[in-house]
């Protein structure tokens, strides 16, 4: 807690060069935040103060560029808060607006810094006190609240890898590993609602999409509203950097496998294919 | 004074008149052709270092070309060009792009001319280009010795083994050498033609290879037989060493550029492969000397140096100062030199067989020739990339 009563959240993030296995036997020379792709999820509450010590352990300059509201001096672009190899810079700003956001490196060459793996989720939960008209909805989104406990929350970063650097992706996935959730479906208890924080960071392909089988969902584009921006849809299309929140329910559904995948069949068959295993 | 005969003056006068007519009238205009100038650019040398990417480009457009913009990996980048003027036909310029290339990955450079034409130059594997220093010179020098001098020398050391052979054994060794040379001829021509394809079209690289080969072969032939008789013994060995040396120059060029461009990994396996591959060459060089009573060691050293050391020069040039058209020219000369040796060695062998009244050795000769080809082909499996 800061003297102002504001909650301070501190993080240490390092840019690390590391090989990751993106498909069985396929190793990709990634640039990562803290050794993982996507990078560590930063989840805070609206209005929190965020302080991140960012250390560049790589061989190229890197930044942290947040999708959020902040001053120009915290923007994390070439020449502004860019960490040279071996250098540490500290970002500090307030978390706003609430929603499902992302952060990524903004150094040049921009495309390469993105598709090499420098991105992660930045989720800002709504502060129920600031939304008196929709306190219950806001509380259901607030991590740690009793209303939130009921929800089965998932983070899905739609990404892809260009393994031969010809500006075309060879491997597609959610959360980096192709077909991972097809081979090991995500277990869903049918009586608890499902919330997916969905972020598209796919490079080279202008759009990506999320399609759910045998069910429909409500969608909150950017997650910056407490009422859905699309109701009762089974497919959403996201451009590069776009994201949103999906809410659905399998209550009273027949137990079994319910697939979800990109509805670009090409992406699906190159790895962005997954399934929920709904259990009673 | 006699009147100047018109038949002497007429041709140059008419030619000058025709040129003036063409330049003033421009007959293409009669066809109403208003085609834009042809624009073409080739990259002759790629250098990657901590300053970014440096490319030596040669223009071969029909008019001076202007590189207006440079893209790397689909993004515009600032660049500097030396000299900064439009690049005249067949002139070169150096383009420097401060691009933070990534080691071991591919990059795609594209030049955008002022008329919007795009010329692409892919960099398949980005690796730091060896900078010219004593250490790298020595490193490439050592590699050249291993690829050229060492195997040739080792092959020549087999001389005592060959010395004890009888006539049939000698025939086998000489035909084996012919097979080895036939392989080198094809290999050198192929290498030369491949490099010719990378040179500016105006240099007509492929024709250059064939012409250089023909002229080199005829010239060496003339020099070799200037006293009216074909070369034998040490002279024949010397021509063989020269031909093989030029081939090894080409081999060195290929290895040097490939290493510098990261196209092949420098492994001990590859070096051993080259050593085995070039061992047969030394064997061939001493084959014409087997009839001599005494062989001076100085001759041996000189022959080994002539055949083996060009590999060192090839590696240096390939790594530090490569130009595809010059390389194609040298490989053409090399092919010509090898052809000359094939002819001289073949006729020598024929005379030998005739003198010794040995006939009916066709089977043995064929076996020797095929063995030579096979040995070269199978050891080349280790080193072709």
Q: Which tens digits make up the pLDDT trace of A197-213?
A: 999 999 999 999 999 99
Mutation choice for B interface testing from A15, A27, A82, A109 by most B CBs within 10 A: A109
pLDDT of B351 above 60: yes
**CA-to-CA distance for A98 and B159, rounded, in angstroms?**
86
Report the 10 Å Cβ neighbour count for B131.
11
What is the structure's pLDDT at B267?
Answer: 63
- Nearest CA-CA partner of A121 in A49, A17, A195, A33: A33
Give the pLDDT band (50/70/90) at residue A231. Answer: very high
pLDDT tens-place string over residues A148-185 = 999 999 999 999 999 999 999 999 999 999 999 999 99
Q: What contacts B2, CB < 8 A, 6 or more positions away?
A: none
H/E segment holding residue B94: strand B92-97
Residues B200 and B275 in one domain: yes
Peptide bond into B148 cis (omega under 30): no
Distance from CA of B105 to the nearest CA of A (A): 7
Calculate the dihedral angle through the C-alpha atoms of A38, A44, A48, A54, rounding to the nearest 10 degrees.
Answer: -20
Question: Which pLDDT score, from 0 to 100, does residue B1 have?
Answer: 54
Domain termination site, one of B88, B123, B158:
B123
Q: Are residues B293 and B365 in the same domain?
A: yes
Residue B350's domain spans which residues?
134-380
Interaxial angle between packed helices B268-286 and B167-198, expressed in degrees from 0 to 180 and rounded to the nearest 10: 130
Helices (H), B321-361: 324-355
Tell me if B86 sits within 8 A of B58, measured CB to CB. Answer: no
pLDDT of residue B7: 82
Which stretch of A201-215, A253-267, B129-143 has the lowest confidence by average pLDDT?
Answer: B129-143
- Is B74 close to A167, i.e. CB distance below 8 A? yes
> Nearest-CA neighbor of B333 among B189, B216, B254, B251?
B216
The pLDDT value given to residue A100: 98
> Confidence class of residue B287 from pLDDT cuts 50, 70 and 90?
confident
**A152: β partners:** A194
Put residue B74 in one of left, alpha, beta given phi > 0 → left and psi -120 to 50 → alpha: left
Average pLDDT over residues A12-26: 96
Domain covering A150-279, topology: Immunoglobulin-like (2.60.40)
Rounded Cα distance between B233 and B155, Å, is: 17
Residue A144 confidence (pLDDT) above 60 = yes
Query: B205-252, pLDDT tens digit by residue?
Result: 999 999 999 999 999 989 988 988 888 888 999 998 998 998 898 888
Q: So what's the pLDDT on residue B32?
A: 65
CB B339 within 8 A of CB B247: no
Asked if B73 and A111 come within 8 Å (Cβ–Cβ), the reply is yes
Arithmetic mean of pLDDT over chain B = 88
Q: Global pTM?
A: 0.83
Going from the C-alpha of A52 to that of each of A42, A63, A94, A273, the distances in angstroms are: 10, 12, 12, 34
**Phi and psi (nearest 5°) for A54?**
-110, 115
DSSP-derived 3-state class of residue B256: helix
DSSP-assigned letters across all residues of A152-188? EEEEEEEEEE-TTSSSS-SEEEETTSTTHHHHSPEEE
Structural domain boundaries in chain A: 8-147, 150-279
Q: Do B75 and A165 touch (CB under 8 A)?
A: no
Q: How many CB atoms lie within 10 A of CB B219?
A: 14
Tell whether B94 and B181 lie within a shared domain.
no
Interface mutation target, options B79, B97, B100, B108, chain A, most CBs of A under 10 Å: B100
pLDDT band at B382 (very low <50, low <70, confident <90, very high): confident
Sign of the C-alpha dihedral computed for residues A158, B122, B334 and B210 taken in this order: positive
Model pLDDT, residue B319: 84
**Higher pLDDT residue, B28 or A259?**
A259
Distance CA B65, CA B114 (A): 8
CATH of domain A8-147: 2.60.40.420
B315 and B205 in one domain? yes
Check pLDDT > 70 for residue B182. Answer: yes
B73 neighbourhood in chain A, CB within 8 Å: 109, 111-112, 165, 167
Cβ–Cβ of B99/A109 closer than 8 Å? yes
- Are A112 and B74 within 8 A, CB to CB? no
In A, which residues are within 8 Å of B74 by CB distance? 111, 167
Nearest CA in chain A to B107: A165
Closest by CA position to B326, among listed B245, B378, B250: B250
* Lowest-confidence region among A70-74, B76-80, B127-131, B360-364: B360-364
B36 within some domain: no
Q: How far is CA A129 from CA A50, A96, A211, A241, in A?
A: 20, 15, 34, 29
Average of pLDDT values for A253-258? 97
Percent of chain A topping pLDDT 70: 100
| Residues B214 and B111 grouped into a single domain | no
* Residue B11 domain-assigned (yes or no): no
User: Which residues of A are less than 8 Å from B100 in CB distance?
Assistant: 60-61, 108-109
Same domain, B106 and B178: no
What pLDDT was estimated at residue B33?
Answer: 64
Q: With 80 as the cut, is the pLDDT of residue B55 above it? A: yes
Q: Greater confidence, B104 or A227?
A: A227
Q: Could A109 and B106 be called an inter-chain contact, meaning their C-beta atoms sit closer than 8 Å?
A: no
Query: Across the interface, do B75 and A164 touch by the CB < 8 Å criterion?
Result: no
pLDDT at B8: 86
Identify the band that residue B52 occupies on the pLDDT scale cut at 50, 70 and 90: very high
CA distance A24 to A176: 12
Comparing A61-75, A100-114, B183-197, B287-301, the range with the smallest average pLDDT is B287-301
| Mean pLDDT confidence for A67-80 | 96
Cβ-based interface (< 8 Å): residues of B facing A: 72-75, 99-100, 102, 104-108
- pLDDT of B203 over the 60 cut: yes
Using the predicted structure, report yes or no on whether residue B3 has a pLDDT greater than 80. no
Q: Which of A215-224, B33-42, B229-238, B278-287 has the highest mean pLDDT?
A: A215-224
pLDDT in the model for residue A61: 96
B159 and B295 part of one domain: yes
Cβ pair B312, B146 in contact under 8 A: no
Output the CA–CA distances (angstroms, integers) from residue A62 to A40, B128, B138, in the order listed.
Answer: 16, 21, 37
Above 60 in pLDDT, residue A143?
A: yes
Confidence of residue B168 (pLDDT cuts 50, 70, 90): confident
Percent of chain A beyond pLDDT 90?
A: 98
Q: A132-146 b/e with 16+ CB inside 10 Å = b?
A: eeeeebbbbbbeeee
CATH topology of A8-147 equal to that of A150-279? Answer: yes
Other beta carbons within 10 angstroms of residue B357's beta carbon come to 6
In this prediction, residue B62 carries a pLDDT of: 83
Number of domains in chain B: 2
Q: Do B72 and A109 touch (CB under 8 A)?
A: yes
Q: Are residues B333 and B184 in the same domain?
A: yes
């Amino acid at each position: 807690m800061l003297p102002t009563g504001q909650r301070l959240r501190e993080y240490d993030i390092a840019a690390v060069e590391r090989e990751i296995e993106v498909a069985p036997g396929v190793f990709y020379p990634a640039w990562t935040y803290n050794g993982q792709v996507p990078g560590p999820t930063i989840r805070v509450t609206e209005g929190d103060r965020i302080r991140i010590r960012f250390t560049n352990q790589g061989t190229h300059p890197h930044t942290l560029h947040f999708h959020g509201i902040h001053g120009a001096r915290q923007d994390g672009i070439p020449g502004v808060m860019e960490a040279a190899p071996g250098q540490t810079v500290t970002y500090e700003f307030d978390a706003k607006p609430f929603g499902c956001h992302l952060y990524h490196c903004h150094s040049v060459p921009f495309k390469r810094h993105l598709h090499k793996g420098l991105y992660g989720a930045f989720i800002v939960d709504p502060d129920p006190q600031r939304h008196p008209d929709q306190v219950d909805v806001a509380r259901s989104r607030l991590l740690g609240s009793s209303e939130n406990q009921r929800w089965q929350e998932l983070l899905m970063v739609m990404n892809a890898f260009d393994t031969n650097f010809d500006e075309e992706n060879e491997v597609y996935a959610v959360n980096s590993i192709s077909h991972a959730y097809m081979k090991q479906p995500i277990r869903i208890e049918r009586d608890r609602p499902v919330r997916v924080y969905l972020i598209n960071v796919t490079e080279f392909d202008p759009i990506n999409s999320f399609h759910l089988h045998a069910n429909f969902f409500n969608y909150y584009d950017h997650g910056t509203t407490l009422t859905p921006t699309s109701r009762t849809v089974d497919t959403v299309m996201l451009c590069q950097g776009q994201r949103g929140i999906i809410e659905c329910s399998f209550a009273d559904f027949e137990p079994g496998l319910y697939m979800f995948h990109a509805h670009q069949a090409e992406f699906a068959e190159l790895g962005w294919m997954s399934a929920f295993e709904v259990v009673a | 004074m006699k009147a100047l005969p018109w038949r002497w003056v007429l041709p140059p006068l008419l030619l000058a008149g025709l040129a003036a007519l063409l330049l003033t009238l421009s007959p293409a205009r009669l066809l109403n052709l208003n085609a834009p100038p042809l624009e073409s650019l080739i990259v002759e040398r790629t250098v990657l270092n901590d300053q970014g990417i440096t490319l030596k480009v040669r223009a071969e457009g029909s008019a001076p070309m202007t590189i207006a913009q440079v893209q790397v990996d689909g993004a515009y980048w600032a660049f500097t060009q030396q000299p900064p003027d439009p690049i005249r036909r067949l002139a070169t310029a150096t383009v420097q792009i401060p691009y933070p290339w990534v080691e071991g990955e591919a990059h795609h450079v594209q030049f955008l001319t002022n008329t919007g034409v795009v010329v692409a130059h892919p960099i398949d594997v980005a690796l730091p280009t060896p900078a010219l220093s004593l250490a790298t010179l020595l490193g490439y020098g050592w590699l050249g010795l291993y690829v050229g001098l060492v195997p040739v020398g080792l092959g020549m050391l087999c001389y005592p083994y060959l010395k004890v052979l009888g006539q049939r054994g000698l025939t086998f060794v000489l035909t084996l050498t012919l097979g080895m040379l036939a392989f080198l001829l094809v290999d050198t021509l192929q290498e030369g033609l491949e490099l010719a394809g990378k040179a500016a079209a105006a240099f007509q690289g492929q024709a250059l290879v064939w012409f250089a080969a023909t002229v080199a072969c005829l010239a060496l032939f003339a020099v070799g037989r200037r006293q009216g008789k074909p070369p034998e013994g040490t002279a024949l060995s010397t021509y063989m060493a020269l031909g093989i040396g030029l081939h090894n120059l080409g081999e060195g060029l290929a290895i040097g550029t490939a290493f510098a461009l990261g196209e092949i990994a420098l492994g001990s396996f590859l070096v051993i492969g080259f050593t085995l591959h070039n061992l047969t060459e030394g064997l061939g060089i001493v084959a014409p000397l087997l009839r001599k009573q005494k062989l001076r060691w100085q001759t041996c050293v000189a022959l080994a140096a002539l055949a083996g050391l060009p590999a060192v020069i090839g590696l240096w040039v390939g790594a530090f100062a490569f130009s595809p058209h010059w390389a194609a020219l040298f490989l053409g000369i090399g092919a010509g030199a090898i052809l000359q040796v094939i002819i001289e060695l073949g006729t020598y062998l024929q005379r030998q067989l005739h003198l010794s009244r040995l006939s009916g050795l066709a089977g043995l000769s064929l076996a020797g020739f095929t063995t030579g080809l096979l040995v070269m082909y199978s050891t080349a499996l280790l080193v072709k990339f």
